Chain A
Amino acid sequence: MPAEILEKEQLSKGVFRMVLSGPKIARKRKAGQFVVIRIHEEGERIPLTIADADPGKGTVTIVFQIVGKSTRHLADLNVGDTLLDLVGPLGKPTHVENFGTVACIGGGIGIAPVYPITQAMKLAGNHVISIIGARSKEVIIMEDLMRAASDELVVATDDGTFGFRGLVSQALEEKFLKPGRKIDLAVAIGPVKMMSAVCDVTRKYGVPTVVSLNSIMVDATGMCGACRVSVAEKMRFVCVDGPEFDGHQVDFKELMDRQCIYLGDEQKSVDHYCSHGRKLVGD
């Protein structure tokens, strides 16, 4: 069904937050689930994690970063514009219970999907340590929200312009695991490299780790298998079996390769979009 854009906010360079009308999805969704949007008739189906929802107002919040044509196009839209399709909630919700101490780790745009999980973990009675990171201070998003949802928050930047200097995986090890803090579960969402690095660290310390994968999808209802990933050497579909899996069992190398399938086409699509007089924003 179509969805109107009710709010639009630029969070950092190339990163936007949008609030969409979606009353039923807002009521039904749980932490960890995602939606698929299609902007216009010629558009592709884009999976985006639900960053927040307000059942009272009937809204769903998405956060996205400009990477290819469709996200550029999305960023070109404004409040009052309508997306042709909003489908959801898709995927399995996060398994939430009182584990004890949970580390919620978000890298870059991955901070957005970590946010509702952080809220849910806190609500379930966990002591929540959050670690959020990005390249640099100006691209850290949702810091205030994450701080409010967590018991402890560490910000990490690759260039050291803010907080811990280094990767979130390093922050997790240096600030918590090496000093002997007991963490019962880690949830890591972000670029594949980042999730893979976090898993390398948590494996070393025996911390169970859940990752949320952002594979390429088409229908996102289990029909096409585009999103298939090897978990414990078994073929799983991210859209219906996930998006969350045991990070220690995921074949990240394969996932990284599969995310590159359409790199060449992505550029072609952007060129086509730009050559048709569409403005570029957010850069």
Chain B
Amino acid sequence: MKERMQIPRQPMPEQEAGRRARNFEEVPLGYTPKTAEMEALRCIQCKKPACVEGCPVEVDIPGFISLVAEGRYIEAALKIKETNGLPAVCGRVCPQEVQCEQRCVRGKKGEPVAIGRLERFVADYERAAGEVAIPETAPKTGRRVAVVGSGPAGLTVAGDLVKLGHDVTIFEALHEPGGVLVYGIPEFRLPKAIVKAEVDYLKRLGVKIETSCVIGKLDTVDDLLAEGFDAVFLGTGAGLPTFMNIPGENLNGVYSANEYLTRSNLMKAYRFPEYDTPIVRGRRVAVVGGGNVAMDSARTAMRLGAEHVYLIYRRSRTEMPARTEEIHHAEEEGIAFHLLTNPVRYIGNDKGWVVGVECLKMELGEPDESGRRKPVPMNGSEFVIDIDTAVVAIGAGSNPLVQSTTPGLKTNKGNYIIADEETGQTSREGVFAGGDIVTGSATVILAMGAGRKAARAIHAYIQSREEKTR
């Protein structure tokens, strides 16, 4: 036991900052089996593991870690998959420092067990070992479920329901399944091969995926129900870009983060002209925002060849919603942080291109409704940063296509779908919803948690209907 307590948290090797800031390959390189086993030994196997309470999908963390310590990696992966269908994704994008690792006992007097890195290790090990085993699925029920959107929520619902024997079809508006995992999160943080492997796994389980199918336009939710689907799950996400409504936002060279990242990630504009979709490769790029999307945008700009990337955020570092690791990586890669700074207008030239952003310095006042201290502008503190590209990454709104074409589907004032927290049940019978389209922009793991609950509720709904018709 004493020896265990003396093992330091094992660092994960990563690409050196100067090199990686110019390529799109993944930044952290992952644990080796040896470091993984060392790290796993640091877990003291608490009787009442607080880490599990900190996990939105309640992964049996001590359970999988003890399997890692014994070198039983594949079994460890299967242990995680009992409650989390996408461990390779979550190991990379979950904010562990405010979830499982925050609650880890080892963190009280030192550093917590690197749960996220271990999760990633076992998932990668399993994938590299070859064909991931297909679990036994329940006998076919003959019941059909339509899943709208193939992001984390939709993929989770589809996986859970297909295992219960239902016939599941995912409808995806874009040409590639994965939702935010493919259009939003860059290759250097979540390689697309991993998303593809997860999607292929679902296909092998029997999930059908119809890409380029915009529900609300081609078919409505009512069309799906009329076509014979027994239930519909809506996981359409928060994909609507938000702008600040300040002058000059329509100038050439000003992007929403959604557009910037979609061009680079989904359309592979970073490989233009090999790929057809272009992207403005700015030399001086301003990114506005302090979340993961802002970090992703800033680091993408650097990789597209920028000389200067400025991250403009109206609050201070402590209020930044991005994962600690992303902030750290961004700084290492040379992103210049302009904290307590807020853009007030973009300045254009006579051809309609952005050439500057005028900002105001801010100071922190009283806490606002989010509990964070509210930034207040400082009078007379205006200054201009010369830029040729700007990316606005200040959050996203709800995708409206389904709500506007589904009569009787209740929404709240942000046009998010109102759904029961425990079941995902909406105001329409047989229609369930979960993920960002219900909660507003949140995390991959919360969307997966909502998907898991909705899958359970959809299964119960289908069963109760069968009993009625018997």
Residues in A whose Cβ lies below 8 Å from that of B278: 262, 265-266, 268-269
A42 and B276: CB pair below 8 A? yes
**Is the CB of B280 closer than 8 A to any CB of chain A?**
yes
A257 and B351: CB pair below 8 A? yes
Q: Give A28 to B217 CA distance when docked, in angstroms.
A: 8
Q: Give A88 to B175 CA distance when docked, in angstroms.
A: 12
B214 and A221: CB pair below 8 A? yes
The segment from A128-136, A198-206, A223-231 that touches chain B is A223-231
Q: Give A43 to B267 CA distance when docked, in angstroms.
A: 8
A219 and B272: CB pair below 8 A? no
Residues in A whose Cβ lies below 8 Å from that of B258: 223-225
Within the complex, what minimum Cβ distance (angstroms) separates A86 from chain B? 7
Contact A218 to B352, CB < 8 A, known contacts A85-B211, A230-B250, A235-B250: no
A84 and B352: CB pair below 8 A? no
Number of residues in B with C-beta < 8 Å to the partner? 44
Q: Give A175 to B173 CA distance when docked, in angstroms.
A: 46
Contact check: which of B274, B280, B351, B399 meets A42 at CB < 8 Å?
A: B274
Contact check: which of B211, B218, B251, B276 meets A28 at CB < 8 Å?
A: B218
Residues in A whose Cβ lies below 8 Å from that of B250: 228-230, 235, 254, 258
Within the complex, what minimum Cβ distance (angstroms) separates B397 from chain A? 10
A235 and B252: CB pair below 8 A? no
Q: Which residues of B from 251 to 281 have beta carbons under 8 Å from A?
A: 251-253, 255-256, 258-259, 262-263, 267-268, 272-278, 280
A87 and B241: CB pair below 8 A? no
**Is the CB of B201 closer than 8 A to any CB of chain A?**
no
**Is the CB of A143 closer than 8 A to any CB of chain B?**
no
Contact A89 to B217, CB < 8 A, known contacts A254-B352, A258-B252, A272-B274: yes
**Is the CB of B174 closer than 8 A to any CB of chain A?**
yes
Residues in B whose Cβ lies below 8 Å from that of A228: 250
The SS class assigned to the B binding surface is loop
Size band of the A side of the interface?
Answer: 35 or more
Residues in B whose Cβ lies below 8 Å from that of A28: 217-218
Residues in B whose Cβ lies below 8 Å from that of A230: 250
**Is the CB of A6 closer than 8 A to any CB of chain B?**
no
A89 and B259: CB pair below 8 A? no
Q: Give A221 to B148 CA distance when docked, in angstroms.
A: 14
B352 and A85: CB pair below 8 A? no
B241 and A223: CB pair below 8 A? yes
Residues in A whose Cβ lies below 8 Å from that of B399: 221-223
**Is the CB of B29 closer than 8 A to any CB of chain A?**
no
Q: Give A221 to B216 CA distance when docked, in angstroms.
A: 10
Residues in B whose Cβ lies below 8 Å from that of A105: none
Q: Which residues of B from 222 to 251 have beta carbons under 8 Å from A?
A: 239-241, 243, 245, 249-251
**Is the CB of A193 closer than 8 A to any CB of chain B?**
no
Closest chain A residue, CB of each to CB of B351: A257
Q: Give A261 to B259 CA distance when docked, in angstroms.
A: 14
Q: Which residues of A from 49 to 65 have beta carbons under 8 Å from B?
A: none
Contact A218 to B212, CB < 8 A, known contacts A254-B352, A258-B250: no
B401 and A25: CB pair below 8 A? no
Q: Which residues of A from 233 to 255 have beta carbons under 8 Å from B?
A: 235, 240, 253-254
Q: Give A59 to B211 CA distance when docked, in angstroms.
A: 19
B-contact 0/1 string along A261-278, CB 8 Å cutoff: 110011011011100000
Residues in B whose Cβ lies below 8 Å from that of A87: 173, 175, 212-214
Please list the residues of chain B having a beta carbon within 8 angstroms of any beta carbon in chain A: 173-175, 183, 210-214, 217-219, 239-241, 243, 245, 249-253, 255-256, 258-259, 262-263, 267-268, 272-278, 280, 351-353, 399-401
What are 24 contact pairs spanning A and B, CB under 8 A?
A: A70-B276, A84-B175, A87-B213, A88-B217, A89-B218, A90-B214, A219-B174, A219-B183, A221-B217, A222-B240, A222-B401, A223-B262, A224-B258, A225-B241, A225-B255, A225-B259, A230-B250, A254-B250, A257-B252, A257-B352, A261-B252, A261-B280, A262-B278, A273-B273
Please list the residues of chain A having a beta carbon within 8 angstroms of any beta carbon in chain B: 1, 24-25, 28, 38, 42-45, 69-70, 84-90, 218-219, 221-226, 228-230, 235, 240, 253-254, 257-258, 260-262, 265-266, 268-269, 271-273
With A44-B275, A89-B217, A258-B352 given, name 9 new contacts (CB 8 A): A42-B276, A44-B277, A85-B212, A221-B214, A221-B217, A221-B399, A225-B256, A265-B278, A269-B272
Q: 5 closest A-B pairs (Cβ-Cβ)?
A: A257-B352, A265-B278, A224-B259, A272-B273, A44-B276
